[in-house]
Structure 1
Amino acid sequence: MTAPVFVVDRLDDNGPEFVLDGPEGRHAVSVKRLRPGEDVVLTDGRGHWAEGVVKAAEGKDRLVVQLHAVREEPEESPRITVVQALPKGDRGELAVETMTEVGVDAIVPWAAARCITQWKGERGAKALSKWRATAREAGKQSRRVRFPEVGEAATSKQVAALLAGADFAAVLHESGDEPLAAAELPADGEIVLVVGPEGGVSPEELALFEEAGAKAYRLGPTVLRTSTAGTAAAALLLGRTGRWS
């Protein structure tokens, strides 16, 4: 198994030793029970990372790491953004978790017309915080060093503007004449994929997105839940673009 990943606020070449403390240090010492000689990876979640070897575990929340050189992982291309309609219950966190695991670069929560769940006020801020925390934890679990960006909740007009600037824009919808597996994809640039809510993308939203340059595509012969469709589609695109090769 690859070395466990821990997140730090900042990672610089400030010396051969790094002290991991706070919640991450507590997790490393008291939960993971890491001991001297074991390998770890430290990252800021924004592409900067360094391998290290545990030098000492002190108390319940302090890990001293012998750190190697800090490196930077370049951004992947084409970049894949998934616009995810707000699902019911905890299915939003499930969608974020699995999309992070497969390698999506950005996730945009979308308040679609047919969403049962609506993010407003304090409830919306709390839900967004959960999505971002889920992306961070899933990024660690899947050994990523560049975590997906989770944006603010977008309106349909804001989604349309995002689609208009993409090199390839697609809406997962059963009305699509062409399967996503057969779509012509760019070698680089930005791919934006829209996943609708349980009630589906409304005709008005489809028209708005089509005007912005997004075509409707079928994913497959079966109907997937909104919480799994984005992950399945992203995996397909990651394979077809060569990012999984």
Structure 2
Amino acid sequence: MGLPVFLVEELPGGDSCRLDGPEGHHASVVQRLRVGEALILADGRGGTASALVTAVGKGTLDTRITTRSNVAAPDPTITVVQGIAKGDRGELAVATMTEVGVDAIVPWAAARSVARWKDERPLQRWRSTARESAKQARRAWLPPVRPGAKTAEVALLLGKASGAYVLHEAADVALSTVPLPPAGEIVLVVGPEGGVDDAELAAFTAAGAVPVRMGPTVMRTSTAGAAAVAALSVRLGRW
């Protein structure tokens, strides 16, 4: 079993680090780490450090850093524009995409999105989900969940991308064969339960996006993004 990962705002310059707050509580109370046990500290921006527990307090953990490493940011990056879904399907999409390696997520208020965000709480849940999934997957890079976007904003994002794609069941081109850029940002749009409507597809293709399909079947919005990121990861040599 791999070592547990705990996120810190900054890796310390010295040889010691105290975990407190939610991470300290989780380490000392939930996981019940003890003196001498090993763990990994990560700043979510590529920096990691192996450490040993030296003391356990009430909701705190003192550690001694033994080794450090830095993981370079991937290039090209993969950003998924995820249509807002009802219930917990959006959070499931965030969790699975984070586990398989997405680099950024943009919530999208699509025309066919059943759920509508009225405040910041759903966005905070997506961010919390991404954080916990990144820790579970032992990722050095924490994928940001950006503020929610409307269709016009998504079109602008696609227009600036090095490679822009829209998952669509009627597309003629397979994601497994479409040309990919060697560097920059790849942006992929995943529709909500009802899919991408004609007006949205027209706006995205006008911005330069290429409609692509995954295969002959139609996936749920909660799984399509993760499957697409996995396919791209193979093609980009990440896997």
> What TM-score range do you get, normalising by the shorter chain?
over 0.9
- Alignment equivalent of 2:94, drawn from 96, 99, 104: 96
> What SS class does the counterpart of residue 52 from structure 1 fall into?
strand
One-letter amino acid of the structure 2 residue matched with residue 7 of structure 1: L
CA offset digits 1:175-194 (Å, max 9, x no partner): 21111111111222111100
Partner of 1:210: 205
- TM-score, normalised on structure 1? 0.94
Is the contact between residue 109 and residue 150 of structure 1 (CA under 8 Å) also seen in structure 2?
yes
After superposition, residues 77-116 of structure 1 pair within 5 angstroms as 77-116=75-114
- 1:185 and 2:180 are equivalent in the alignment: yes
- 1:57 and 2:56 are equivalent in the alignment: yes
> What SS class does the counterpart of residue 176 from structure 2 fall into?
helix
- 1:162 and 2:157 are equivalent in the alignment: yes
Deviation (angstroms), 1:37: 2.0
For structure 1, the residue ranges without an aligned partner over 5 or more in a row are: none
User: Bigger CA drift: 178-187 or 230-239?
Assistant: 178-187
One-letter amino acid of the structure 2 residue matched with residue 80 of structure 1: I
Is the contact between residue 11 and residue 70 of structure 1 (CA under 8 Å) also seen in structure 2?
no
Deviation (angstroms), 1:48: 2.2
User: Bigger CA drift: 61-70 or 213-222?
Assistant: 61-70
After superposition, residues 121-140 of structure 1 pair within 5 angstroms as 122=119, 125-140=120-135
Percent of residue pairs bearing the same amino acid type:
55
RMSD: 1.2
Deviation (angstroms), 1:69: 4.9
CA offset digits 1:98-128 (Å, max 9, x no partner): 00000100000000111111112x3xx0000
Deviation (angstroms), 1:21: 1.8
> Structure 2: how far apart are the matches of 1:100 and 1:156?
23
One-letter amino acid of the structure 2 residue matched with residue 8 of structure 1: V
For structure 2, the residue ranges without an aligned partner over 5 or more in a row are: none
> Structure 2: how far apart are the matches of 1:187 and 1:195?
22
Deviation (angstroms), 1:91: 0.7
Partner of 1:28: 27
CA offset digits 1:56-97 (Å, max 9, x no partner): 223x31211111354432211110000000001111110000
Partner of 2:37: 38
One-letter amino acid of the structure 2 residue matched with residue 51 of structure 1: S
> Structure 1: how far apart are the matches of 2:44 and 2:121?
21
> Structure 1: how far apart are the matches of 2:73 and 2:109?
28
> Structure 2: how far apart are the matches of 1:69 and 1:4?
15
Partner of 1:172: 167
Deviation (angstroms), 1:168: 1.1
CA offset digits 1:123-169 (Å, max 9, x no partner): xx000000000000111111012110101110101000110111111
